[in-house]
Structure 1
Amino acid sequence: WTLWLFTLSDLKTIVVPSTVFGIVNAYTARGANEYHKSFHTLRLRILPVCFWVWLTLLPFTINNQQNPSSIAEDRVNKPWRPLPSKRISPTGAKQLMVLLYLLSLSLSAFTGLGLRQAIALFFLGAWYNNFGGGDHSPLVRNAINACGYVCFASGALEVALGQPIFFDSSMRAWLGMICGIILTTVHSQDMYDQQGDALRGRRTIPLVLGDLPARYTIAVWMFLWGIACPTFWHADLVVSAVSVSSALVVAIRTLRLRTVRSDKVTFMIWNVWIAGMFAMPLL
């Protein structure tokens, strides 16, 4: 249960969307044989995909939460987390993090699935949590998030397929689009925690640009990506309409509803939209 609590906040942002991406894109992948593309086979792979994403995410979240400033912030905002609730000591959390990094990398190396992504996520996590990547520059913060999403998504795809993926031009373009979506809109998660970020000295987009300009950057890019994704996949009119309208919901809420509670709901809708975009190849 303690391990679960470390990742609880990230289930909606990482675990669910990445699992959706892996399963859906495995089903539609070019070059995958019919066995790998069969619904029954992919259904059996949902749990392994979900487990790989969760296990790879877990040491990152522990690293993110074990700093003294993070523990102090969580005592106020998320007192149920393992460290502020004293389920585990900071020393124990650090030892657990090292063990889980070794376990995650060893599992990927043993299976030959998601190894490149797991290694990349190890270095991205160290940069983000230990070398100021998540605090000192809003662009670097968003870029690390974008690269992390791509690693989780493509690693989930490898586990779903049961074989390493080849990054052909179509796959590179699709992952590049995902990277662009996250890079330009992921600061939706920073809108509701500006006070906490300011106290910790983080330089997030709303704190650097200001609240209203940051909201406009999210709204404009949401509208553009809402059009671009179905266009990329040559989606029909219904799917395109759903994509654009749901993106507009996020955009309008971001501009019009500015309370902390409203921003949290908007970010939840953003996560649902992301999962929908990840499923776009199937639609």
Structure 2
Amino acid sequence: MLSFFPNPITTVQQYIHVAILFTWTDYKTILFPVATFACATAPLYSVFNLLQSVAWIWIHLLLCNVSNQARSKEEDAVNRPWRPLPSGRINQSQAIILRYWTVVICVLWSSSYGLDLIAVTIALIATTWLYDEGGASKTALGKNFCNVAGYVSFELGATKLMGAARQLDIVSTTAIFLSGALIFTTIQAQDFPDVDGDAASGRVTFPIYAPELSRAFTLCSVIAWSIGLGWYWHPGPMIKSVFIILGVYVGCRYYLWRAVEIDKKSYFIFNIWLICAHVLPVHARLGFLYF
């Protein structure tokens, strides 16, 4: 159990371990895809910009994850028993205290950059509250809207910090808009492996509400986005073909192969596809995806 008054060295080690566990599952779903997106659309200005952007993403990711997991112990006990709360590394009251400290830390962190980053942080805090305390996570539509708002907030903040200037141009604005629409129509990909845990916590996700339709919709939406983004960003024929083939493979996996372990692997491959989708805007900047 995490203690707030032990040996200082032990305390630091425990806090780092707990923080990593809180954010572990979202490195592949948020940290890497968002950082890749920001690098491609800003575009990346320097190594220092990369480091401060990744740090900004991570600390805000911790805010969202602590808030969510502080109230989803039952779900995590089914789906992810190694997380800090179900594994007993931290109790619920400590998690709630940590949740409010991360709010303060994130606001102060963004204040060092200016009002535009503070606004992004406040938007993410409001979205997180709506998702966890406002009950939006209990419905499929509310869950999707919050996921899109959260994802766009991450992308806005990361892109502003990754580039030479924080003013977004037409390429960045368009890329963020398309990314938000993509997430809204494909985010159910993360829910297929978690059906049992979501049902235990009272959530009604798309796969729970419409098991067959959700898989057919995922098949069609992933393939449609693969074709559409390939056409819009206009990379070279080889890049476009590989991206579309990957999208067809991901969509077919979700529709044809239906088991928890298979869905977990499908979601991992989905995130590879998502990262690839987020790289495509770099062609509008640098034009090197011509092959």
TM-score (norm 2): 0.87
Residues 194-205 of structure 1 correspond to what in structure 2 (within 5 A)? Answer: 194-205=195-206
User: Which residues of 2 match residues 230-245 of structure 1 at below 5 A?
Assistant: 230-245=230-245
Q: Could you tell me which residue of structure 1 aligns to residue 214 of structure 2?
A: 214
Which portions of structure 1, spanning 4 or more consecutive aligned residues, are displaced by more than 6 angstroms? none
Alignment match, 1:270: 270
**Residues 150-186 of structure 1: CA distance to partner in whole angstroms, max 9, x if unpaired?**
11112111111254233x4443322221111111111
Match of 1:49 among 49, 53, 61: 53
- Show the counterpart of 1:227: 227
Partner of residue 27, structure 1: 43
Matched, 1:9 2:19: no
Q: What CA distance in whole angstroms lies between the structure 2 residues aligned with 1:6 and 1:163?
A: 32
Shift of 1:253: 0.3
Aligned residue type for 2:26: D
What does 1:111-122 correspond to in 2, within 5 Å?
Answer: 111-112=113-114, 114-122=117-125
- Partner AA of 2:127 in structure 1: L
The whole-number CA distance in structure 2 between the counterparts of 1:160 and 1:170 is: 14
State the partner residue of 2:11.
Answer: none
Residue 90 of structure 2 corresponds to 88
Shift of 1:96: 1.1
2:22/2:62 contact within 8 Å kept: yes
Give the AA of the match of 2:66.
I
Give the aligned partner of residue 32 of structure 1.
Answer: none
Distance change >3 Å, CA 170–CA 24, structure 1 → 2: closer
RMSD over aligned Cα atoms:
1.5
**Unpaired stretches in structure 1, ≥5 consecutive residues:** 29-35
Contact preservation (8 Å) 1:83, 1:89: yes
- One-letter amino acid of the counterpart of residue 217, structure 1: F
- d(CA) in 2 for partners of 1:187, 1:3: 26
Mapped partners of 1:196, 1:73: distance in 2: 4
- Whether the 8 Å contact between 1:19 and 1:50 is mirrored in structure 2 is yes
> 3-state SS of the aligned residue for 1:203?
coil
Q: CA deviation at 1:262?
A: 0.6
* Aligned-partner Cα distance in 1 for 2:43–2:218: 31
Superimposed CA distance per residue, residues 64-102 of structure 1 (whole angstroms, 9 cap, x where no aligned partner) = 0112xx112222322211112221221111111111111
Q: Distance in 1 between matches of 2:117 and 2:233?
A: 25
- Contact between 1:46 and 1:160, CA under 8 Å: does it hold in 2? yes
Quick check: 1:138–1:204 contact (8 Å CA) kept in 2?
A: yes
Q: Which residue of the partner structure matches residue 73 of structure 1? A: 75
- Residue type matched to 1:145 in 2? N
* Deviation at residue 249 of structure 1 after TM alignment: 0.9
TM (normalized to structure 1)? 0.89
Distance 1:170 1:162 in 2: 15
Equivalent residue pairs, number:
266
Residue of structure 2 equivalent to 1:133: 136
